Amino acid sequence: VIDFACGGGHTVAITKSCRIFGWGSNTNGQLGHAMKQCFPEPVEIPLGDPVAKVRAGWQCTAYITESARPIICGGIRAEGPSVSDMQKAGEDGEAPAPELGGGPQAESGVMDMVSSTGVEVMTDVVTEAAVGEAHGLLVCYDGSIRGWGYNRQKQAIGDESDDTFVKPQFVDDLPEGFKGHQVAVAGAQSYAILKPPGQ
């Protein structure tokens, strides 16, 4: 096992050969498996792309692929294009429109044992992620930080918002020249370790 994470009622592990195994609750699709049930024993989650890192929150999991692409599963989705949107776009030969995949979506059937509606794919290149009870943060390759989810105490984006839940957006309150390195989140708070300018 090269990485693992525990959420509110689920656990995910990644093997050295990049296979993903999850067990526990998947009632909100937090494992990424198409069957919305509890798994008392590990089941394989074939997401398609090799995964390098995994982070888990209360009812959500953030996978970071070897190509540094985030895949978000479960209750606090990132509102990006879904896997089925990305597959459709590949068939059409065009990239998906930015508005595809957002908001509530219908339940999916079992399709290659991967949930195509509970999984969100973002196009950002990321190096790190953290998922909490109802919000999450991503550290992008360029050092910017993106947050999404519950934002009543400004925990997702560090700023006031008219919406209780926010779609992924940049955290603007970073000191000038500083870049995100690592992030951690809890129920109503978020922290980031920043790199100073020039590092």
CATH of the domain at 171: 2.130.10.30
Domain ranges, residue 26: 3-195
pLDDT value of residue 174: 86
Length of the chain measured in residues: 199
| Whole-number average pLDDT of the chain | 78
Query: What confidence category does residue 196 fall into, taking pLDDT thresholds of 50, 70 and 90?
Result: very high
Report which of 65, 67, 97 is spatially closest to residue 82, judged by C-alpha positions: 97
pTM: 0.76
pLDDT value of residue 79: 44
Query: What confidence category does residue 167 fall into, taking pLDDT thresholds of 50, 70 and 90?
Result: confident
Which of 27-31, 68-72, 166-170, 180-184 has the weakest average pLDDT?
166-170
Into how many domains does the chain fold?
A: 1
Tell me what the mean pLDDT of segment 164-188 comes to.
87
Q: For residue 82, is pLDDT > 80? A: no
pLDDT value of residue 118: 53
Query: What confidence category does residue 28 fall into, taking pLDDT thresholds of 50, 70 and 90?
Result: confident
How far apart, in whole angstroms, are the C-alpha atoms of residue 26 and residue 8? 11
- 45-81: pLDDT as tens digits: 988 788 999 999 988 899 998 888 888 888 775 444 4
pLDDT value of residue 113: 40
Pairing of strands 119-121, 126-131: unpaired
How far apart, in whole angstroms, are the C-alpha atoms of residue 177 and residue 16? 36
Pairing of strands 60-65, 70-74: antiparallel
How far apart, in whole angstroms, are the C-alpha atoms of residue 149 and residue 145? 14
- 108-162: pLDDT as tens digits: 322 234 444 456 666 778 899 999 888 899 999 999 999 888 888 888 888 877 7
Tell me what the mean pLDDT of segment 37-52 comes to.
90
Tell me what the mean pLDDT of segment 14-43 comes to.
91
Q: For residue 12, is pLDDT > 90? A: yes
